[in-house]
Amino acid sequence: MKTIKKLLFGLLIFSALSTTAQGKPFKVKVIGDGDPILLFPGFACTGDVWEATVETLSKEYECHVFTFAGFGDVPAIEKPWLPKINEGVVEYIIENELKNPFLLGHSLGGALALWLATESNIFKELIIVDALPSTGALMIPSYKSEYMVYDSPYNKQVLAMNANDFETMAAQMTSGMTKEKSNQEKIKDWMIQADRETYVYGYTDLLKLDLREDLAKIQTPVTILAATEPYGLDMAKSTYDLQYKALEEYTIEFANGSSHFIMFDQPQWFMENLKNALND
């Protein structure tokens, strides 16, 4: 048994070192003191998306705020992007000797938290903010993970876009993600700042990720804070029931009337429910 454990640990360290050798998969800012919380932003966002959240949480918790490679001012890494982030987080937890950390993730960050929890039960709790175990299945009819490839016509089109066309696309996308114009501009600016290949191939990694069946492996308590827009409460409930049906037990709260960035649209509701989840 000791030999097996040593082998597994060695493989984990080798994997982590391989990731590091090719460039750090993220940057982390640590703020506050107390039980550790790892905060994962959504796709293309920087850790600044958690600014107001951290201002409150850091009074009681040690907040580890991530910005992933290729976003903000963090240099890009070679693909596959998302698997390297997953491996890097495991290395980070070991390296910093974090005991039973909370995971708080929005969108892509929530999917990453779920993925990590399917592979380990070391986490105290997952708090998932408007995230699904299979984004691809929500977006693509007749979805199959293996259909998601880097070399696709859509990826080529986005890679070839000039700056003006990409900005136009980003503005259209962000208009439905949050209600206030100033927050739409903030998200759009993060998208424009992103490394283009990371934006394209990293999103392919997200679409390829399908954790729906693997949710049955999760032993960590899970709280989901879900938005209802743009399709309303009934559709949101149906989507979450379907996607999370393999997860034996979880708590879910719906931010009625909120778009995808709940922390922007309903900050008071978000903070109250986040604190409830942490206290429970």
Strand partners, 38: 64, 103
Q: What angle do CA 144, 159, 46 make, to 5 degrees?
A: 85
Contact 66/20 with Cβ under 8 angstroms? no
- The tally of domains found in the chain comes to 1
Going by their DSSP bridges, the two strands 125-129 and 251-255 should be labelled as: unpaired
Helix (H, G, I), strand (E, B) or coil at 38: strand
At residue 206, the pLDDT reads 98
Q: How does pLDDT run across 94-133, given as a tens digit for each residue? A: 999 999 999 999 999 999 999 999 999 999 999 999 999 9
Q: Kindly list the distances between the CA atom of residue 80 and the CA atoms of 85, 146, 211, in Å, as whole numbers in the listed order.
A: 9, 14, 17
Q: Which domain holds residue 54?
A: 2-279
The pTM for the full model equals 0.91
Residue 53: count of CB within 10 angstroms of its CB: 21
Q: What angle do CA 67, 69, 73 make, to 5 degrees?
A: 70
- CATH code: domain of residue 273: 3.40.50.1820
At residue 280, the pLDDT reads 82
At residue 223, the pLDDT reads 98
At residue 46, the pLDDT reads 98
Q: What angle do CA 143, 148, 151 make, to 5 degrees?
A: 145
At residue 203, the pLDDT reads 98
Q: Which residue stretches of the chain have pLDDT < 50?
A: 1-22
Q: What would you measure as the largest C-alpha separation in the chain, in angstroms?
A: 58
Sign, Cα dihedral of 223, 227, 233, 239:
negative
